[in-house]
Amino acid sequence: MMKQRVMDGAGPREKSGQVVADPGLQGVDRFQIKSGLVQAIAWTMQHRSLTQQAMAEISGIARPRLSLALRGDFSQLSERKLMDALTRLGFDIEIKVKRTRKAQGVRQLVLS
Protein backbone atom coordinates (compact mmCIF):
# COMPACT_ATOMS: atom_id res chain seq x y z
CA MET A 1 0.00 0.00 0.00
CA MET A 2 1.22 3.50 -0.81
CA LYS A 3 2.15 5.80 2.05
CA GLN A 4 -0.06 8.85 2.36
CA ARG A 5 1.45 11.95 0.77
CA VAL A 6 0.01 15.43 0.51
CA MET A 7 0.86 17.68 -2.43
CA ASP A 8 -0.15 21.28 -1.82
CA GLY A 9 -1.52 23.35 -4.65
CA ALA A 10 0.82 26.19 -3.73
CA GLY A 11 3.98 25.75 -5.73
CA PRO A 12 7.52 26.76 -4.92
CA ARG A 13 9.24 29.60 -6.70
CA GLU A 14 12.52 31.49 -6.40
CA LYS A 15 12.34 34.88 -4.66
CA SER A 16 15.38 36.71 -3.31
CA GLY A 17 17.26 33.44 -3.02
CA GLN A 18 14.54 31.81 -0.92
CA VAL A 19 11.91 29.33 -2.00
CA VAL A 20 8.43 30.52 -1.04
CA ALA A 21 4.94 29.19 -1.68
CA ASP A 22 2.88 31.15 -4.19
CA PRO A 23 -0.74 30.00 -4.55
CA GLY A 24 -1.08 32.15 -7.68
CA LEU A 25 1.18 29.98 -9.82
CA GLN A 26 -1.38 28.04 -11.85
CA GLY A 27 1.20 26.21 -13.98
CA VAL A 28 3.02 24.86 -10.95
CA ASP A 29 -0.30 23.94 -9.33
CA ARG A 30 -1.35 21.85 -12.33
CA PHE A 31 2.10 20.30 -12.59
CA GLN A 32 2.03 19.16 -8.96
CA ILE A 33 -1.41 17.62 -9.29
CA LYS A 34 -0.54 15.83 -12.53
CA SER A 35 2.76 14.74 -11.02
CA GLY A 36 1.00 13.13 -8.06
CA LEU A 37 -1.47 11.31 -10.32
CA VAL A 38 1.36 10.03 -12.54
CA GLN A 39 3.25 8.90 -9.43
CA ALA A 40 0.27 6.73 -8.50
CA ILE A 41 0.24 5.24 -12.01
CA ALA A 42 4.00 4.60 -11.87
CA TRP A 43 3.66 3.01 -8.42
CA THR A 44 0.94 0.72 -9.74
CA MET A 45 3.05 -0.25 -12.75
CA GLN A 46 5.96 -1.16 -10.51
CA HIS A 47 3.92 -3.12 -7.96
CA ARG A 48 1.97 -5.03 -10.59
CA SER A 49 5.11 -5.56 -12.69
CA LEU A 50 3.40 -4.11 -15.76
CA THR A 51 5.10 -2.99 -18.94
CA GLN A 52 4.21 0.38 -20.44
CA GLN A 53 2.20 -1.40 -23.13
CA ALA A 54 0.21 -3.40 -20.57
CA MET A 55 -0.40 -0.27 -18.50
CA ALA A 56 -1.51 1.62 -21.61
CA GLU A 57 -4.07 -1.07 -22.43
CA ILE A 58 -5.46 -1.20 -18.89
CA SER A 59 -5.44 2.56 -18.22
CA GLY A 60 -6.70 3.76 -21.60
CA ILE A 61 -3.70 6.08 -22.06
CA ALA A 62 -1.87 5.70 -25.37
CA ARG A 63 1.57 4.18 -24.78
CA PRO A 64 3.52 7.13 -26.27
CA ARG A 65 1.65 9.58 -24.01
CA LEU A 66 2.15 7.31 -21.00
CA SER A 67 5.86 7.15 -21.75
CA LEU A 68 6.09 10.94 -21.92
CA ALA A 69 4.17 11.31 -18.65
CA LEU A 70 6.42 8.81 -16.87
CA ARG A 71 9.39 10.94 -17.98
CA GLY A 72 7.82 14.13 -16.61
CA ASP A 73 6.11 15.57 -19.71
CA PHE A 74 2.46 15.94 -18.70
CA SER A 75 1.48 18.31 -21.50
CA GLN A 76 -0.33 15.59 -23.48
CA LEU A 77 -2.58 14.49 -20.60
CA SER A 78 -5.29 16.26 -18.63
CA GLU A 79 -5.98 15.74 -14.96
CA ARG A 80 -9.29 14.17 -15.99
CA LYS A 81 -7.56 11.59 -18.24
CA LEU A 82 -5.15 10.68 -15.45
CA MET A 83 -7.99 10.33 -12.93
CA ASP A 84 -9.93 8.13 -15.39
CA ALA A 85 -6.85 5.93 -15.76
CA LEU A 86 -6.54 5.58 -12.00
CA THR A 87 -10.18 4.53 -11.61
CA ARG A 88 -9.57 1.85 -14.26
CA LEU A 89 -6.64 0.71 -12.13
CA GLY A 90 -8.85 0.30 -9.07
CA PHE A 91 -8.35 3.62 -7.31
CA ASP A 92 -11.15 5.76 -5.92
CA ILE A 93 -10.92 9.46 -6.74
CA GLU A 94 -12.45 11.87 -4.24
CA ILE A 95 -12.67 15.62 -4.79
CA LYS A 96 -13.46 17.54 -1.63
CA VAL A 97 -14.46 21.21 -1.53
CA LYS A 98 -14.47 23.02 1.78
CA ARG A 99 -14.50 26.62 2.97
CA THR A 100 -11.28 28.19 4.14
CA ARG A 101 -10.60 30.94 6.66
CA LYS A 102 -7.81 32.29 4.47
CA ALA A 103 -8.25 34.95 1.81
CA GLN A 104 -7.63 32.35 -0.90
CA GLY A 105 -7.98 28.60 -0.78
CA VAL A 106 -5.40 26.08 -1.94
CA ARG A 107 -5.61 22.88 -3.94
CA GLN A 108 -3.95 19.75 -2.68
CA LEU A 109 -3.71 16.16 -3.77
CA VAL A 110 -3.69 13.44 -1.11
CA LEU A 111 -2.48 10.02 -2.21
CA SER A 112 -3.24 7.21 0.20
User: What is the model's pTM?
Assistant: 0.69
Q: What's the confidence (pLDDT) of residue 63? A: 97
Identify the burial level of 38 via C-beta atoms within 10 angstroms of its C-beta, where 0-12 means exposed, 13-18 middle and 19 or more buried.
buried
**Cα distance between residue 51 and residue 79, in whole Å:** 22
Domain boundaries, the chain: 5-111
Q: What's the confidence (pLDDT) of residue 30? A: 75
Q: What's the confidence (pLDDT) of residue 101? A: 87
What residues form DSSP beta bridges with 22?
11
Which residues in the chain show pLDDT less than 50?
1-25
Q: What's the confidence (pLDDT) of residue 55? A: 97
Q: What's the confidence (pLDDT) of residue 22? A: 46
Q: What's the confidence (pLDDT) of residue 52? A: 96
Q: What's the confidence (pLDDT) of residue 111? A: 75
Q: What's the confidence (pLDDT) of residue 28? A: 66
